[in-house]
Structure 1
Amino acid sequence: MATYCGNATNKAKMVLNASVKLMVQFLAVSVTIIAKMRRGQNLSLDCLSGNSNPQANISWSLGPTSLKGVGQAPRNTTFGGVSVRSTLSLPLSSQHHGQRITCQAYSSLLSEGVNTFYKLNVLCEW
């Protein structure tokens, strides 16, 4: 969001001024998963994307299976960017042990994404 200005003069003492405001597009600077669980409840995962421009779209997957998270309101951040959060609730069983849940912050405009994963450690069922 920086503004660049330029001034030019010539021998005829004509002065020209111009300015332009830059809008830089960038992928999410980070993606973080935070896990919360209490005995006998579903696993709750929050995926938080760091600053990006344009706003990233968050998706979840468990292996090849897509999962549906619940998006939170985006939050304006530094440098004209946006941070987004999605929450996923998942009932676990011992068959999930060792599997990875992936969270991806994807920009369709830039055709790129950033992702991270959370490895499940399920030793018993309640």
Structure 2
Amino acid sequence: MLIENGTRRNLLFVGTGITISHVEGLSQASVERPSSIEAAARHLSFTKAANELPVTQAAVSCHILTLEDHLQVQLFNRGNQKVSLSAPGEELVEAVTLSLWHMAAAFDSVQGGRGPSP
């Protein structure tokens, strides 16, 4: 979810309760739902990704289509009832997964290693 606040935007990552600010020049499409593409890639299914995240399958599909449109590249190869990652999709998912891992580690670190708060 994106919350406008002057020249900065606050980004709430689905399922984390964490808000991250980013500079106005960054595209909402490129940072709004990194968890959608990561989950869809891990499951190779938009439906399974949606079941994991608190969103619908249509929302996951829309997030990915919006990102593909923004980047002007196909991230997933779509077949009859299945998806696979394209080469650019594999590259992006690797970076997104690493970024999410770094964020989780940083959150854990600043909480003194005690894990997320309830």
Report the TM-score, using the length of structure 2 for normalisation.
0.24
Report the TM-score, using the length of structure 1 for normalisation.
0.23
Radius of gyration: which is bigger?
Answer: 1
- The structure with higher relative contact order (CA 8 Å, sep 6+) is 1
